[in-house]
């Protein structure tokens, strides 16, 4: 297992967000975490990405424990959220250069060229990010996340605010990353988008994984029906 979570509890003051959640992912799996607003999806991804400490329970990623070995965990992670995590007053190239230095990427110049090519922003490399559309910023955010070639990619609602063209491009990148054996965990409440991408669907509601299925187990059944059943228990 590349990700193993046991009895994870996360509380903010008196509010219990994750209630003893168990979760595991095999290497190369593409897991879509689906659930209603407030289910704890973003909090769960923040714990996985070491941005929030677990209150209780154990989290192991790529063989490293959180929070004790957080830096080693982060080396194996690429994170894309609905915010681009980019500096609007730096160019696309400068943003990648900055993050490349933060991740100690070797052969950085060549790597930046490759990544800009991958996300289709080679011609805009010297433009300030503040002049980019939301879709272009999200593509660059994906470039930032894969710059250090992480084994695991975490996507938190990556489709938020994207137009159809940008969504299609994001799908293409996701399929390609998954095709190269990278492990992906993605939160979304857009079932239509994740249905054709993920190799597993986990329903997170009330702070636990309430149900889990795969495309083959679903068969002809609709993901939406499965999701509704999971929510109603």
Binding site for other proteins (CB under 8 A): 46, 49-53, 71-72, 74-75, 77, 79, 81, 83-90, 94, 98-99, 101-107, 111, 114-115, 117-118, 120, 128, 144, 146, 148-149, 172-173, 175-177, 180, 182
Between 118 and 231, CB nearer to other proteins = 118
DSSP secondary structure string for all residues of 136-181 = HHHHHHHHHHHTT--SEEEEESTTTT--HHHHHHHHHHHHHHHHTT
Order of strands, edge to edge, in the sheet holding 77-80?
A: 77-80, 152-156, 183-188, 30-34, 200-205, 208-213
Q: Which is nearer to other proteins, 99 or 227 (CB)?
A: 99
Query: Which residue, 174 or 203, has its beta carbon nearer to other proteins?
Result: 174
Minimum CB distance to other proteins, residue 44 (Å): 13
Q: What's the CA gap between 202 and 25, in Å, rounded?
A: 11
> Of 62, 52, 40, 60, whose CA–CA distance to 202 is shortest?
40
Taking the complex as a whole, the smallest distance from the CB of residue 201 to other proteins amounts, in Å, to: 23
- CA 133, distance to chain mean position in Å, is 21
Q: At its nearest, how many Å lie between other proteins and the CB of residue 82?
A: 8
Q: How far apart are CA 199 and CA 130, in angstroms?
A: 35
Minimum Å distance from CB 48 to other proteins? 11
The token pair that represents 203 in the structure block? 């329903």
Instruction: Using the minimum distance from each CB to other proteins, give the nearer residue, 5 or 141.
Output: 141
Nearer to other proteins, 39 or 115 (CB): 115
Which residues face 152 on adjacent strands? Answer: 77, 183
Rounded to a whole number of angstroms, the minimum distance from the CB of residue 164 to other proteins is 17
């Amino acid at each position: 297992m590349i990700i193993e979570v046991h009895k994870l509890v996360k509380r903010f003051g008196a509010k219990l967000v994750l209630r003893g959640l168990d979760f595991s992912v095999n290497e190369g799996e593409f897991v879509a975490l689906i659930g209603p607003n407030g289910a704890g999806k973003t909090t769960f991804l923040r714990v996985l990405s070491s941005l929030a400490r677990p209150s209780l329970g154990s989290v192991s990623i790529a063989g490293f424990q959180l929070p004790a070995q957080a830096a080693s965990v982060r080396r194996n992670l690429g994170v894309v959220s609905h915010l681009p995590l980019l500096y609007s007053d730096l160019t696309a190239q400068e943003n990648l250069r900055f993050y490349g230095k933060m991740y100690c990427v070797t052969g950085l110049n060549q790597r930046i060229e490759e990544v800009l090519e991958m996300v289709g922003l080679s011609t805009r490399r010297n433009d300030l990010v503040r002049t980019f559309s939301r879709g272009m910023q999200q593509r660059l955010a994906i470039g930032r996340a894969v710059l250090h070639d992480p084994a695991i990619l975490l996507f938190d609602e990556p489709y938020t605010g994207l137009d159809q063209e940008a969504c299609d491009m994001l799908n293409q990148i996701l399929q390609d990353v998954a095709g190269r054996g990278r492990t992906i965990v993605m939160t979304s409440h857009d079932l239509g988008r994740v249905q054709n991408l993920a190799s597993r669907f986990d329903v997170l509601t009330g702070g636990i994984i309430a149900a889990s299925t795969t495309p083959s187990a679903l068969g002809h059944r609709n993901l939406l029906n499965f999701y509704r059943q999971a929510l109603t228990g």
